[in-house]
Amino acid sequence: DRFCAPLVKAQKLVSLYRKRPLAHELLAKTSFQKSLILSIDIRWFSRMFMAKRILEACSCTDAPLNFLITNMKWDLSLAISLGDIRNMELYVQLLEPLQEKSDSLGSEKKSTLQLVVPAVRENLLHIEQMIEKHRADTSFVDFAQDLHFQYKKRFAYALDQDHENNNPLFLTTTYCE
């Protein structure tokens, strides 16, 4: 999908970077003094962290990623365009609040189960607001609508009173915990 293409490009760029020690040395010669983060499918929000790090590098005035691509003689199609930056910024804006909510629910010291349903509702509202705000960008809207559908499907047992797995007693007791 067109909206995710910059993320695929960034993944290829980071993958090349991670495999070559010379690339690390070259990037260290720029104003960008951090490593690029590789997205790993089984790690929650790692694609968002990768996009954020790519965006940090793109904000440097000496264009460290272009310097890296040129000096490593990699395919110039890996260069991050302004359109790619815009899509990655939207991706981060969409997912960062979900990641923050996820982190707040991951406490080992206190019960947070009672916060799940309100957090899910807040996240769905955030996605809906992003869809409305960026309605003109059809590729973003398609991505965000799919995320909204999958999110709602995943938590249907808690959100839909008529769902076969909805258990009011369970939800009530977890809220009271």
pLDDT digit string, tens, across residues 125-170: 999 999 999 999 999 999 999 999 999 998 887 777 777 776 766 6
pLDDT (average), residues 97-106: 85
Extract the tokens encoding 87. Answer: 């899509």
Determine the Cα–Cα distance for residues 88 and 19; give it in Å rounded to an integer.
23
Please give the pLDDT value at position 171.
Answer: 58
pLDDT (average), residues 107-136: 85
Extract the tokens encoding 172. Answer: 């009530």
pTM, two decimals, is 0.83
E-state strands within 9-86? none
Centre a 10 Å sphere on the Cβ of residue 1 and count the other Cβ atoms it contains.
Answer: 11
- Residue 84: enclosing H or E segment and its boundaries? helix 82-104
Query: Given a cut of 70, is residue 94 above it in pLDDT?
Result: yes
Please give the pLDDT value at position 113.
Answer: 63
Between the alpha carbon of residue 66 and those of residues 20, 33, 47, 94, 173, the distances in Å are 16, 15, 21, 27, 55
- pLDDT digits 0-9 by tens, 3-13: 899 999 999 99
Tell how far CA 35 is from the center of its chain: 18
What DSSP designation does 80 have?
A: P
Question: Could you tell me the pLDDT band of residue 109, with boundaries at 50, 70 and 90?
Answer: low
Which residue type sits at 76? L
Please give the pLDDT value at position 20.
Answer: 96
Please give the pLDDT value at position 46.
Answer: 94
Extract the tokens encoding 155. Answer: 């938590």
Extract the tokens encoding 125. Answer: 């509202």
Residue 117: closest CA among 164, 173, 45, 46? 173
Query: Given a cut of 80, is residue 110 above it in pLDDT?
Result: no
Residue 3: closest CA among 58, 37, 47? 47
Please give the pLDDT value at position 165.
Answer: 72
- pLDDT digits 0-9 by tens, 28-77: 999 999 999 999 988 889 999 999 999 999 999 999 999 999 999 999 99
Extract the tokens encoding 40. Answer: 């790993």
